[in-house]
Structure 1
């Protein structure tokens, strides 16, 4: 069963059967204009499409009220499995760093045609200026990471990202991206090995991938080359 909720001059669709939220062509600057994030711990699927005025997933005003609840933020997005973001022309940062410890069930991230997107995981100014920021993030169930046509993307995450369940990485036309923060599992001799679940890496353009992109371990490219298409 689907229910439709109107908010100001846009509409948001809640899919009760799969705990899903679809935002299409809405005039919101963040999800905080759509729902209370304190009640977002049961959402399994979020799809944000062609919301041209949306600048971030979570507004800065929410962060101002968040510190008493840190670092758990009441489990916000702790049930999230699938996240899509497509065609949001003003979006610059996707996931705020403070929410990353909650994304233990996230399986799929797909971001495409967001022409101002600069960071997938971004810290606030306050987090950047302190030494207490999370330096290593684990997304234990992430299977798919797909980044398509993000011409301003400079960072997936500034520190280390551990995703040992990855099956597919797709990075297409993100030519300002220079670093892949994903840490590969290490063998006893200290050399990297592919995540055991990895099936393929789709990368374009090829020259950018081979000559510009750097991984956490200097030998990672050689190890991953059989998976690259």
Structure 2
């Protein structure tokens, strides 16, 4: 059992657990935990399995501010939805306390993860301020919506990704990254100050539009007033603007060449 007043937890080279839920008994008291860092744990597949907390009166991650996951070769998701729980066929979501105070998440060398934050988890992440993803070889999208949800809403329906406090998005050495949000996704992030991308994100060809129009239903060429886009010239010039050609004119003054 961890001390009730513990605020920082660092786990390294522990190869015997599939998720932190495997050690739920020792985490139950950690209600003041603000920082959690996990490194070189070869078997971890997720941080939380939802079934671990269905009967728990207090959630050990409800006060967490900072989460760092480094060198996790089997990590595929922050949260694994158990069968029938939080599935796209029900309205059930993760318990509202799960990561509800999280401000910063950093992923480094998590080579099995394809989607960083699924759409169904975003209601829990309304305090999130920074997302940093480095050297994750299989990541294809940062904010993802399930295919079934896209089908239910129609192939042309806009999917809103609400992260009202997000300030910084950093993306480095993501060879398979194809999109920041899923197809037809728009970001509702008025507080966004920085999108930083290196030129090794070869497959990332588009920046999602911000805030949809109410009138004709088309994404509006708008960017948060304090936004800076920092990248190499090579990546910036490779971007495609076919869907929203006027968006380039809006973002061009916000782009800065990233210094090495």
Select which of 161, 164, 168 maps to 2:190: 164
> Which ranges in structure 2 are unaligned for 5 or more consecutive residues?
1-5, 21-26, 214-218
SS of the counterpart of 1:73?
coil
> Which ranges in structure 1 are unaligned for 5 or more consecutive residues?
none
Cα 1:182/1:109, change in 2 over 3 Å = farther
Cα 1:51/1:35, change in 2 over 3 Å = farther
Give the whole-Å Cα distance in 2 for the aligned partners of 1:155 and 1:4.
Answer: 31
Give the whole-Å Cα distance in 1 for the aligned partners of 2:15 and 2:234.
Answer: 47
TM-score by length of 1: 0.80
Deviates more, 1:169-178 or 1:66-75: 66-75
Alignment check: 8 A CA contact 1:58 1:96 kept: no
Structure showing greater radius of gyration is 2
CA deviations 1:10-53 (Å, max 9, x no partner) are: 697x8976612211111211113699466233322111111111
Q: CA deviation at 1:82?
A: 0.5
Q: Does 1:122 align with 2:144?
A: yes
The count of aligned residue pairs is 223
Select which of 123, 128, 135 maps to 1:106: 128
Give the whole-Å Cα distance in 1 for the aligned partners of 2:189 and 2:38.
Answer: 27
TM-score by length of 2: 0.71
Select which of 145, 152, 156 maps to 2:169: 145
Specify the alignment match of 1:181 in structure 2: 208
Alignment check: 8 A CA contact 2:209 2:247 kept: no
Alignment check: 8 A CA contact 2:100 2:127 kept: yes
CA deviations 1:93-147 (Å, max 9, x no partner) are: 1111101122211100000100111111223354344328981122111100111
Q: Does 1:85 align with 2:101?
A: no
Q: Does 1:28 align with 2:35?
A: no
Cα 1:25/1:35, change in 2 over 3 Å = farther
CA deviations 1:77-96 (Å, max 9, x no partner) are: 22111110011112111111
Alignment check: 8 A CA contact 1:92 1:116 kept: yes
Give the whole-Å Cα distance in 2 for the aligned partners of 1:192 and 1:42.
Answer: 36
Specify the alignment match of 2:23 in structure 1: none
The 5 Å alignment of 1:47-58 reads 47-58=68-79
